[in-house]
Each structure stands twice: as C-alpha cells, then as structure tokens.
Chains A and B, each alone.
Chain A
Amino acid sequence: MEGMSSDTLGARRVADLRLDFPVFRDAGEHAPAYLDSAATSQRPARVLDAEREYLEHHLAPVHRGASAAVGRSTTLFEDARATVARFVGAGERELVWAENATDALNIVALGMADASAGLGGAEASRFALHPGDELVVVEAEHHANLIPWQRLAARTGAVLRPVRVDARGLWGPAELAAVLSPRTRVVAFAEVSNVTGFLAPVAELVALVRERSPEALVVLDACQSVPHRPSDLAASGVDFAAFSGHKMLGPNGIGGLYGRAELLDALPPARTGGSTITRVTLEHAEFLPAPHRFEAGTQPVSQVVALAEAARYLDELGMAEVARHESALAARMAEAVAELPGVRLIGPPPGEERAGLVSVVVDDVHAHDVGQYLDEAGVVVRVGHHCAQPLHRALGVTATTRASAHVYTTEDEVDRFIDALGGVRRFFGVAGAGEQTGVVA
C-alpha cells in the first residue's frame, strides 16, 4: 500500500467529500481528527435529509391498513430493503431489519434456543441443539458475537469451543481446524476484528467448516466489514451475517440480519407480535415467511429509509475505492506506530493486510491516560477493551487505544494521531533517556 495516495477516493478528493458531512463542513480546519468511526461513523447531510424528508412528507404505518399513504410508506420501506440488500449482496427476502448487529446476532441465537425448546415445528429442527453439541467462537470476538452464544449454550447444554488467538490477537484456518468437529453446530466470527483490524479469509474458513463440520451454521459478524469493503454475502457462503447502520454512515437503531432464504424461513422468530403472522387463534399463531416473520411491531421506517440513502452514498463512492482508501490509511498508521518507541502495535504487523484501524498499547501508560492526552491534542480515539475482554486478556492487557478510519478520514488526521501518540510517554514521564518523542501542536 505504500506510496498509494489516500487523499482521493475514486473520482473525488477526500477534502471535497468531507463537505458532504455537516460535522466536518461546519467545524472548518480546526476540527478534531475523528478517528472513532469503528464505533460510530459520521453521517452525510443527504442521509439526514432523507430521514427528515420521509418524516415530513411520507410518515405513515407500513404493511397495514388500506390508505394511499400506507401504500407509499410501505413502498419506501421495501424499496429501501431492496437497496440495502443489493448493497450487501443479499436477496430481498434474505434481509431482515434489526436494531443493529448485536440485535441481529441475538435473533439467530434466540431463534435457535426456541428451536431447541421444540418451537417452530419440524422445519425448525435443523436449528435444535442438544447437550454436547458444540458452538465455536473466536477468542477475539466482540461481546455481541460471544455472549448470545454463551447464553444459547447455557439454555441447551451445548458446549462453547473457543478458537485461540496468538500474541498479536490473530488466528486463521489452522486455529479454527483445531476446534472443529462433527458436533460443531455454530461457527461465529467477525469478518474484520474491531480491535486488531484482522481480515478473516471468509471463503477459506467457510470451506473448512463445510468439510469438517457439515452440520454447522456459519454466522458472520460483518459490522466492521460491510461499511468499509465490498460485500457479497450470498456469494460468501456464510449462513447468517449481521451489520449495523450507524457504522455505515447511517442512523442509529437500524441494522440488518442476512440469512440464506431457506434458513430464515425455518428459523423460529424469537420476538413475536403484530405483523409477523399469517393466522392467529387464541391458542396458536402461524408465521409469515422471511423477512417479515422477524419484524414484530412498528418498524423504524425513517431509519430504514435513511440507511438506504447511506448505502447509495457508499455505492456511488465505490466500495472497492473505500477499501483501498482505508487500507492505505491503516498501512500508514501501522508503519508509523511500529517505529514509535514504547508503543506496541496489536494485530497484523506492518506490510500485512489490515482493515482501516489500528490498536496500540503504550508501555507504562494506561489506555485511558493515552486517550485523554490524544483528546487534548485534538485527536478522538477509542480507549478501553472495545467490548472484547477475552481478547485483551489473551493479549495480557486490560485496555488498548484504537484509531479507526472511514471514507472521510484524511492523511493529515492519521498523521496528527501518530504525532500525538509519540508525545504520550514523555508527558507521563515514562520515556527512556534519548527516546525520540513527538511534539503536540
């Protein structure tokens, strides 16, 4: 990636593209460097406008009643589904609206718990777990892709089998192969780690699972990949995938669950209520096919409409270009961090592929103090365990400092991060004699 410019993104200069975002447009040149997009991304004005336009002119219920207003609102709602489904490479019936990736993963785990309890009839029996069945999760997972599986194991007597990471927080097919068995029923992992920036080789891992564990479902946490690189979920071969709107320039409170159609049609809906059903008696309910069987109650329609606008915006930029831009920034950060004395880079070493984020440990300075120092220097990063305590335990630290990029991130911003990071050890009085340190402007 070295030498590759990251001040353009496709046909556009990043400096121009930033004007699409009110937060950068209005802050001018002295805006803090916002390097916490892996937590929540900023939103372009047209995404905010789309939501407001819907609320001001088209607000009405969806999928109920007979008015023309309901018809328009329903069309906008389902057109948005088609747009986002195309964006992630799913069929329209294969995209269920969820609150966020966490919620989407819970829909799968709770549906399997229901199936294990005998709900959903014969078609749901493929999801039923029995004592001794195995659930495989990676030690590096975000808590959102760990705790639902812990709870599912506790409910069913299944056993959790962790894939271990190495000293850099990395893993691969060999580590996965070590825990796969014919009793494996779920394999859950993130396409991009929110801490290490590791890119999982999804196709290779799926092929391995199919060979060793034919009964297993592959569940992909795609919330750090869908916003940053081209996605073709159907082609990837995974069974389920989860993503969040607020990480892809879209609203909070909306995300998606992808599932292969035949699986979604058979998975019991863990949350039930209005809109999910065909025939209801006092004793019994029958459910619609996917996706509507999972969408109980009034849906967040304005957020759905705005999320589709975010998908269109990203699509116009071109996801291959987005990935190239962010990988170039990540390479720049990884190379610079590796040169800083007393700073340890987590995840792939410089020169190896990584997603657009870096996490570091500064020797002898707690991550919260690092974050405070950077904040004062006008650099917004995330500090803490990033909802991945088992990973941090494996790394032997309680917390790390993470800088993450998005479409609007500039070289200048990542350079300000590196400069400020270089001054941390001196400020806290732990820099060794002769240790070259950066200067905070």
Chain B
Amino acid sequence: MSGLEGLYQQIILDHSKARHGDGPLEHAAAEHHEYNPTCGDELTMRIRLDDAGERIEELAWQGDGCSISMASASALVDLMAGRTLEEAGERIDAFRAMLRSQGAGEPDEELLEDAIAFHGVSKYVMRVKCAMLSWVALEACLTEARATRG
C-alpha cells in the first residue's frame, strides 16, 4: 500500500494526533471559520499580532475533521508562528501551488519545511480541500488583519 503511505506519511499521522495549536486564543486580531459542506469538516482559525501589527505572534484553531485536515492545521501552526503577514502569505501561496500540482514537481522545502509532507495529498483530488482548510482560514485572517491595519 505504497500509495496510501505516500498520502498518510508518518509525520501527517503524528500531526493528526498532536494537533499543535488546537485550542482557543484570547485577544485575536482576526478570526475566520471555514466549513467543507461535502464532508462536514470545520475549523475556526484565530491569530494574534505583535504591537506593530506586522507579525503573527500566536495562532490557534478549533475544529473537527479528517486526519488530513487536522494534521494540516497542526503543521500550519508550526510553520507560521512568528512570521510576518507577508511571509505567511507567501507560504500559503506555495502550499496551494504544491497541492494543485497533482504530484508533479518538487515542493519548496525552504519555504514550507515539514509541510512538504502534504505533497502526496496533491495526487488525491478529493482530499486537496481537506489539506487546504486551515490554510484558507488563515489566509482570510491575514486579509482581515491587513484591512484592520489599513
């Protein structure tokens, strides 16, 4: 079952149980809820910024879903804490490009670090949305944060 192990890499299975960043967040600068009506998965992302409003000081999420969506949210938290809004946006773009690749190309490990483990998901079109759920939620938070910053 090499195909399945390519999808569910150990690091993904580990993240799906560890669920880094799973929980509430006080004084959030932005908050966004995402829902996938085809499977019922849902997730609320919250971010808190530094005083300058430039950098993600902390991010956290609450949600329920499959192992791919939960692991992806966990890996996202590891990657994004402490990033500037621009750095975070750049990484979301890279993650999306990787998931749209249908297994082609080499993911940018320098940008995405451990999140390259989700490259295998790109071969399963029905699961791309699962992996994107938290990233789309964070993207909406960044948009909201930029709008507030003016």
Contacts and interface: CB of A to CB of B under 8 A. Distances in A.
Contact of A368 (B3, B4, B127): B127
Contact of B4 (A366, A373, A385, A389): A373
Interface residues on A, range: 20 to 34
Given A368-B66, A372-B124, A372-B127, A399 B3 contact: no
Contacts of B17: 429
A369 interface: yes
B52 interface: no
B61 to A, nearest CB: 16
A369 B68 contact: yes
Contact of A398 (B1, B39, B67, B130): B39
Contacts of A376: 1, 3-4
Given A372-B4, A372-B7, A440-B1, A398 B13 contact: no
**Most-contacted residue by chain B among A369, A373, A389, A440 (CB, 10 A):** A369
Contacts of A385: 39-40
Interface string B1-20: 10110011000010001000
Contacts, number: 48
Contacts of B40: 384-385, 389, 392, 398-399
A268 to B, nearest CB: 32
A376 B3 CA distance: 8
A20 to B, nearest CB: 30
B148 interface: no
**Most-contacted residue by chain B among A372, A373, A377, A429 (CB, 10 A):** A372
Given A369-B68, A372-B8, A428-B13, 14 more contacts: A366-B66, A367-B66, A368-B68, A368-B130, A369-B8, A376-B1, A377-B1, A398-B40, A398-B41, A399-B39, A399-B40, A427-B4, A429-B17, A440-B1
Interface of A: 365-369, 372-373, 376-377, 383-385, 389, 392, 398-399, 427-429, 440
